[in-house]
């Protein structure tokens, strides 16, 4: 079941952005490895400061030890629903410049650009991506042997659209089935002048 979401925009935008959303249930179909790699290829072409491409992605497909290792890095709340995702991944970034002399303040922004490119590619393929902040950052860093100058920033659930919202608890099921999406108005964060709180 795929909820027919509506995106009430104030200005016209492309359908791919309007159709992108982050479900917590997915079809049971395991994506082909080639389709997963297509998502990462889209991310590969995301913009990054000085073209440093500071992102690192660790992924696993359901039924493999790698999937279980990633799953064990999620907080309990996210484990509750992410267990239905056929692919799990972690997004990390290199915190310093290539020469290691100073911090790369834009690296997290660049990982976000990677994630958005990947999410839009997924939407075009009837797939979905759900980013998760609820992970054991330090545990994941240790589990996957990241050096100190890397930060594991996000968990990522990936799969084909669909799935049964009844697999979720009542609170998450209600969110999953909500038809109208919501965002802050531009007037709250876009200023042609000084910042206003």
pLDDT digits (tens, 9 = 90+) for 60-87: 999 999 999 999 999 999 999 999 999 9
d(CA 22, CA 161): 10
| In-domain check, residue 78 | yes
d(CA 135, CA 43): 21
| Mean pLDDT across 33-57 | 98
- Find the CATH number of the domain harbouring 137: 3.40.109.10
| In-domain check, residue 45 | yes
Q: Between the CA atoms of 40, 42, 47 and 52, what dihedral angle is there, to the nearest 10 degrees?
A: 30
| In-domain check, residue 195 | no
For 101, the domain range is 15-188
Across the chain, what does the average pLDDT equal? 95
Q: What is the pLDDT of residues 102-147, one digit of tens each?
A: 999 999 999 999 999 999 999 999 999 999 999 999 999 999 999 9
| In-domain check, residue 7 | no
How many folded domains does the chain comprise? Answer: 1
| In-domain check, residue 36 | yes
| In-domain check, residue 4 | no
pLDDT band at 197 (very low <50, low <70, confident <90, very high): confident
Q: With 90 as the cut, is the pLDDT of residue 4 above it?
A: no
Helix axes 33-44, 107-124, angle to 10 degrees: 140
Q: Which of 54, 65, 111 is nearest to 88 (CA)?
A: 65
Question: Kind and range of the H or E element at 24?
Answer: none
| In-domain check, residue 10 | no
| In-domain check, residue 35 | yes
């Amino acid at each position: 079941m795929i909820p027919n979401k509506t995106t009430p925009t104030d200005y016209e935008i492309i359908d791919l952005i309007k159709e992108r959303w982050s479900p917590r249930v997915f079809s049971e179909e395991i994506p082909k490895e080639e389709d997963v790699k297509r998502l990462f290829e889209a991310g590969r072409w995301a913009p990054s400061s000085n073209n440093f491409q500071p992102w690192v992605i660790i992924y696993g497909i359901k039924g493999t030890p790698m999937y279980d290792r990633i799953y064990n890095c999620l907080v309990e709340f996210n484990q509750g629903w992410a267990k239905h995702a056929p692919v799990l991944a972690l997004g990390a970034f290199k915190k310093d410049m290539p020469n290691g002399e100073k911090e790369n303040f834009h690296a997290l922004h660049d990982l976000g650009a990677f994630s958005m490119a990947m999410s839009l590619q997924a939407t075009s393929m009837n797939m979905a991506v759900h980013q998760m902040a609820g992970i054991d950052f330090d545990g994941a860093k240790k589990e996957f042997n990241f050096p100190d100058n890397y930060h594991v920033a996000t968990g990522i659930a990936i799969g084909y659209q669909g799935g049964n919202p009844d697999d979720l608890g009542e609170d998450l099921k209600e969110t999953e089935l909500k038809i109208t999406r919501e965002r802050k108005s531009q007037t709250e964060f876009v200023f042609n002048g000084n910042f206003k709180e």
